[in-house]
Amino acid sequence: MVRKEIVKVVENARGGNGSVEFHHFLMEEDLLGHASLFARVIVRPHSSIGWHQHVGTTEPYVILKGEGVFTDNDGSKTVVTAGDVCTIEVGHFHSLENNTDEDMEMIAIVLNDRA
């Protein structure tokens, strides 16, 4: 089977600023209970994904393009660029900001904790 990605634009994602585009490769129902998100995510200039917690899930994502500021569970901030991998453990909080004039792109997957 071949199909097109499904694009959804979210304003103020997780309480953040501006807009974020989610280019879903698979929808949650296609992930068979293993995950809730598998998508290319575009954080528009001067936009963010707000501070939120992963309850029962973990999330790795890899930055493909652009630059952002990743805020980790302990509040530390790290500038991330293409090739950086951010990992969020079960129960941890995080956020991501794009404070530049260019798009920031990443691939993200939110995996369900089966432990």
Three-state SS sequence of 12-76:
CHHHCCCEEEEEEEECHHHHCCCEEEEEEEEECCCEEEEEEECCCEEEEEEEEECEEEEECCCCC
Listed residue (63, 19, 81) closest to 44, CA to CA: 19
pLDDT of residue 3: 87
Q: State yes or no: pLDDT of 37 exceeds 70.
A: yes
CA distance 22 to 62: 14
Dig out the tokens for 40 from the structure: 């290319």
- pLDDT digits 0-9 by tens, 9-24: 999 999 999 999 999 9
Listed residue (72, 68, 28) closest to 52, CA to CA: 72
Count of structural domains within the chain: 1
Residue 1 maps to a domain: no
Residue 81 — very low, low, confident or very high, per pLDDT cuts 50/70/90? very high
Domain that holds residue 107: 6-112
CATH code where residue 20 lies = 2.60.120.10
Half-sphere exposure of residue 7, counting CA atoms within 13 Å on the CB side? Answer: 6
Q: State yes or no: pLDDT of 29 exceeds 90.
A: yes
Listed residue (62, 76, 61, 70) closest to 99, CA to CA: 70
pLDDT of residue 36: 95
